[in-house]
Chains A and B, each alone.
Chain A
């Protein structure tokens, strides 16, 4: 894939990579930490998106949800990124040809773009609709898209455990 195979094989041969994938408890511990940090991150993102869509946390201003949950979402994201990076480091060749894994990565990038686009455009006028139970259509669409994309990230992340659509 894009001539990247030698790089993946190079990482695969690292003593730390071998130690990680052959560790009896290290790998399950990392995987569990990844799930928990993902629950913190995605769980709070979902709480924010439900408000954006106009079906949850309706008495709380959108700017409050955004500002106050953001630091905790970042704690979860950093935790997910570190544990996810280590999981990848431990088994790079397992993920190399896995279409489901790369789909998850693409969906994560799309979810990030959706969040960034929302903040750079629709969110700028938040003062005008901060306390509205049902935000304007652009905000609702960002919320729907966020819910769909993060649910898909979680789904494809889980499906990565299976060897479907894996190419060697």
Chain B
């Protein structure tokens, strides 16, 4: 089975047919997905702003990152739970959309980046990391998550 056939089989699943059976079901899942996106951006940006030298500047970076982390993980899990049904119900549209694949690439890199490099930078001694590298890591994080969100939006608008 190649990738195209795999996506065709996803679209033919009973759950996919169920989601497509009413516009309301898909819309409600999409609404939940967007609300989770807001939570995700809030938990990511509160840390990125701190790394950029703004936001909660009286709190140590590590504290801001530790407090935001559970919300970021919760948002990511919820986004996956609401994103997968959307992909299932419109699998062929996603398959043929270059934006879907770009979104997945951005998402993968953003997740790896957030849980490796960015996490290490936030946990490291602030004086040792320095403002330049902190800001650079924050800008990288913003660029990756924004890239994923822009491509996600484009699936619906330009595919």
Could you list which residues of chain A lie within 8 angstroms of chain B, going by C-beta atoms?
28, 31-32, 35-36, 38-40, 42-47, 50, 56-60, 64-65, 68-69, 71-72, 150-151, 154-155, 158-159, 162
Contact = CB atoms under 8 A, between A and B. Distances in A.
Contacts, number: 100
B42 A44 contact: yes
A46 B42 contact: yes
Contact of B38 (A28, A60, A69, A154): A154
Contacts of B63: 59-60
Contacts of B105: none
A35 B153 contact: yes
Given A46-B39, A65-B56, A162 B157 contact: no
B149 interface: yes
Contacts of A65: 56
Given A59-B67, A60-B67, A159-B31, A47 B154 contact: no
A57 B68 CA distance: 7
Given A60-B59, A64-B56, A28 B30 contact: no
Given A43-B41, A44-B45, A56 B149 contact: no
Contacts of B68: 47, 57
Interface of B: 23, 27, 30-31, 34-35, 37-46, 49, 54-59, 63-64, 67-68, 70-71, 146, 149-150, 153-154, 157-158
Contact of B45 (A40, A59, A159): A40
A35 B154 CA distance: 12
A118 to B, nearest CB: 18
7 smallest beta-carbon distances between A and B, as pairs: A43-B42, A39-B41, A43-B41, A28-B157, A155-B31, A47-B42, A32-B153
A160 to B, nearest CB: 11
A65 B31 CA distance: 27
B67 A58 contact: yes
Contact of B30 (A43, A64, A71, A158): A158
